[in-house]
Structure 1
């Protein structure tokens, strides 16, 4: 028997991979052909459920290198000294499209980075925009329902999209970005990335700083005009995936410089409705970007399914020195992402090579589907009287006071100022394209009351903004 022989999943040699086991020349096929049954059963299960959001994407391995000393602000080990390098895996994606959708759709792009640090895995799970459409996780399922297919027609539904947006005025800032030139990046390599939420850094002296992450592309920002993007979508729906793969394969390794905005703890609490509202940005004039390090993607995956499809990210994957903020959308994501992975990939998805940390894992989680390492100890509980794993008091998160009555609260109702500021910052030609893109989408809405409601939002952000959209639709802004 040769060494390079075909086996079953249990390692047994396969004698015939061309012909099923049958009762005689003409069959029927025997149920005892376990190799046939195994092949067919596995084939039926070769596709895990696609991600509810961020289904279409591409990824690559790389390295993060610290270029500036930020140890005064965080005790995170992978940021502890200049020159320190940490392996990373980064996944880019569209948000609303299915697995087979086109890369060049007008949609935010996911920008997720897994740092394989010496104190566990740390994930930054953001987008290519610094903000989002909603600011409370309770609205997320409803929002995504409007972006997906109509449950009756199975078609995309512009009425649902704009109905939700017009009834959620906090979405206006993100709509303005989405419908601008930035709504369709030229490639994954030519877009910025953001952590979007506010997080908390803690240093070795237990001093706390609010932090926001900005990955700035070193390739320069480039975008696609709508007509070009539509043309590419028809000719090569995998355009961005192909571009990233070939760039890395040809040695044109893309890189991003990570910067942060740091806000003193008490100062941040004084503007908490701005700081923790993910539909708003924090002034870079008041809190300028501070360089942290460079991320370079230098190696393509060996297998797309094993690495890009099965990789799992969660904003709840923290390491000592980095903690959550009270941002209500972030708080919901801390649960939702891990729960999505347990459903989609399995309870033990953290043991897959692409997700497994580079440091030893010692916990009392046992059993479950696809468990690869269950340990050898009979002690699977804590506290215990034996020399088994113990809690580590030094890893406790920092403290700060909270107070208030239980209730359902919203952030402030300033939905318009930052959207208006953004519109006025755009050059005239970009303003025109922004309006054209909005008109092209909003004109598909068949309910005049939805159009009017949304027009009023644009008008309140900037009168010229609202009037331009109204003119494009051939409408008059009512109740202004």
Structure 2
């Protein structure tokens, strides 16, 4: 017996009498345009795929919670961090960066590490990677960089000439390139990698005092990576390996977890630290600014529907709560616009109202209309501000804390350009086996580059980071070390 619960209907709720045969003029047709159920099914099917993300297209996600384990109220007034033991629900999306939606999980690529905290003061998004640095440090270079990671417009193939040409002409990329080409360039699973906010952010406490902060998610499963030959085999056998592993781990009750720590820098240190603390191609030494434990993130529930949750989840570093603010990091400043704008294009102007993105706290604003407005659109309430009808009003105590700026309006680079020290330090930290694998990976990646000019320019950067680093890659490519 058919009940109301399992009765098939059209999208407007009318019962469907026949879902196996389209309406035709006689047994052989033609099909009638009056079959509105058929038309709606076909039209909706044509629109079932929203545009994929330009970057981070291939991803996996899960629900979980964050629990505070250490008192950080001296540094921030963020309510979800206000007391030890407090739990906040969250959603995480992991992703590769350069590949398309159907690409393999086990490619050599940074991994996106995006966390949405559903706090009582609104959502807070921490949108980072599994690396503490990035390839570039100014958002104006981002479209060009991503173009090099995509496909050649004529051949539609990946283009190592573009990749290494851009990197060799952008020496600030050397630190991230070294990480990417190291063993950590291919995580064994999404559970066995660290996560980082990467950028510098600002925390402000209840007294209005601020500090600069960097986020570190330390995997409690331990770091594990894949050898390139194993990763290549898995990519062919099971391109969704990481997605499957995360789902199965949670499904079996093996909940992955990370410890969140931060580095704290006094505001005044930004003017004297030996590296620009807002340059996302650099790290802060943990000897200078030790890790401070904040809490623990646990993923314990899989999505019920991939599209509704993982694909429609939208993250932006501009999704902030009181007590957490941004820094003058030029790459971060560009992302504050670009991420929200990408979601408006890809998912729609009302993407924040979708269930996966909707804040768990009360949402009161004067934004109205737009495509796919699926709530009551504010009803008949007042729709402008300021007003005399008791509508939502600003709360001055939640204004972001001010900080001093100075200088002329101009297109200006960072004033410190040491792109080699930290990359060299990282190389020297590696064991001999790790260095050999790093060199082998770089040599293999650079061999298809057609111009020796590009190879020699890049070898020069490796040499400046560490002479042995440069010499070994030059020898592997059968090229001389450029005169320094």
What range describes the TM-score normalised by the shorter chain of this pair?
over 0.9
- Which aligned pairs between 1:61-72 and structure 2 lie closer than 5 A? 61-72=63-74
Deviation at 1:478, TM superposition (A): 2.0
- CA distance in 1 between counterparts of 2:73 and 2:182 reads 38
- CA distance in 1 between counterparts of 2:143 and 2:439 reads 28
- CA distance in 1 between counterparts of 2:362 and 2:373 reads 16
Deviation at 1:309, TM superposition (A): 0.4
Deviation at 1:269, TM superposition (A): 3.3
The aligned counterpart of 2:171 is 169
Gaps of 5+ in 2: none
Match of 1:59 among 61, 70, 75: 61
The aligned counterpart of 1:443 is 447
- CA distance in 1 between counterparts of 2:67 and 2:13 reads 42
Of stretches 279-288 and 1-10 in structure 1, the one that deviates more from structure 2 is 1-10
Deviation at 1:479, TM superposition (A): 2.4
C-alpha deviations, 1:346-398, integer Å up to 9, x for none?
A: 11011110000001111111111110220223421100111111111111000
- CA distance in 2 between counterparts of 1:273 and 1:296 reads 34
The aligned counterpart of 2:244 is 242
The aligned counterpart of 1:452 is 456
C-alpha deviations, 1:159-193, integer Å up to 9, x for none?
A: 00000000000000000000000100000000000
- CA distance in 2 between counterparts of 1:245 and 1:212 reads 29
- CA distance in 1 between counterparts of 2:463 and 2:289 reads 30
Deviation at 1:222, TM superposition (A): 0.4
- Which aligned pairs between 1:3-82 and structure 2 lie closer than 5 A? 3=4, 4-82=6-84
The aligned counterpart of 1:154 is 156
Q: Is the 8 A contact 2:275 2:282 kept in 1?
A: no
TM-score of the superposed pair, with normalisation by structure 2: 0.98
- CA distance in 2 between counterparts of 1:415 and 1:270 reads 18
- Which aligned pairs between 1:266-281 and structure 2 lie closer than 5 A? 266-271=268-273, 274-281=276-283
The aligned counterpart of 2:3 is 2
- CA distance in 2 between counterparts of 1:189 and 1:120 reads 27
Is 1:215 aligned with 2:217?
Answer: yes
- CA distance in 2 between counterparts of 1:381 and 1:132 reads 41
The aligned counterpart of 2:319 is 317
What secondary structure does 2:369 align onto?
A: coil
C-alpha deviations, 1:396-439, integer Å up to 9, x for none?
A: 00011110011111122211000000000000000000000000
TM-score of the superposed pair, with normalisation by structure 1: 0.99
- CA distance in 2 between counterparts of 1:198 and 1:100 reads 32
The aligned counterpart of 1:414 is 418
Q: Is the 8 A contact 1:96 1:148 kept in 2?
A: yes
Q: Is the 8 A contact 1:274 1:282 kept in 2?
A: no
What secondary structure does 2:233 align onto?
A: helix
C-alpha deviations, 1:306-334, integer Å up to 9, x for none?
A: 00000000000000000000000000000
- CA distance in 1 between counterparts of 2:447 and 2:413 reads 31
What secondary structure does 1:282 align onto?
A: coil
C-alpha deviations, 1:267-326, integer Å up to 9, x for none?
A: 223339520000000010110000000000000000001000000000000000000000
- CA distance in 2 between counterparts of 1:315 and 1:286 reads 26
The aligned counterpart of 1:427 is 431
- CA distance in 1 between counterparts of 2:50 and 2:109 reads 24
What secondary structure does 1:275 align onto?
A: coil
Match of 1:304 among 303, 306, 325: 306
- CA distance in 2 between counterparts of 1:98 and 1:149 reads 10
The aligned counterpart of 1:107 is 109
- CA distance in 1 between counterparts of 2:274 and 2:303 reads 41
- CA distance in 2 between counterparts of 1:2 and 1:354 reads 30
Of stretches 228-237 and 109-118 in structure 1, the one that deviates more from structure 2 is 228-237
Match of 2:479 among 472, 475, 480: 475
Q: How many residues align?
A: 480
Q: Is the 8 A contact 1:170 1:415 kept in 2?
A: yes
Runs of 4+ in 1 over 4 A off after TM superposition: none
Is 1:402 aligned with 2:409?
Answer: no
What secondary structure does 1:248 align onto?
A: helix
Match of 1:124 among 123, 126, 134: 126
Match of 1:461 among 459, 465, 469: 465
What secondary structure does 1:51 align onto?
A: coil
Q: Is the 8 A contact 2:443 2:477 kept in 1?
A: yes
- CA distance in 2 between counterparts of 1:272 and 1:449 reads 32
Of stretches 268-277 and 418-427 in structure 1, the one that deviates more from structure 2 is 268-277
What secondary structure does 1:317 align onto?
A: coil
- CA distance in 1 between counterparts of 2:18 and 2:391 reads 49
The aligned counterpart of 1:391 is 394
The aligned counterpart of 1:359 is 361
RMSD over equivalenced CA pairs, Å: 0.9
What secondary structure does 2:269 align onto?
A: helix
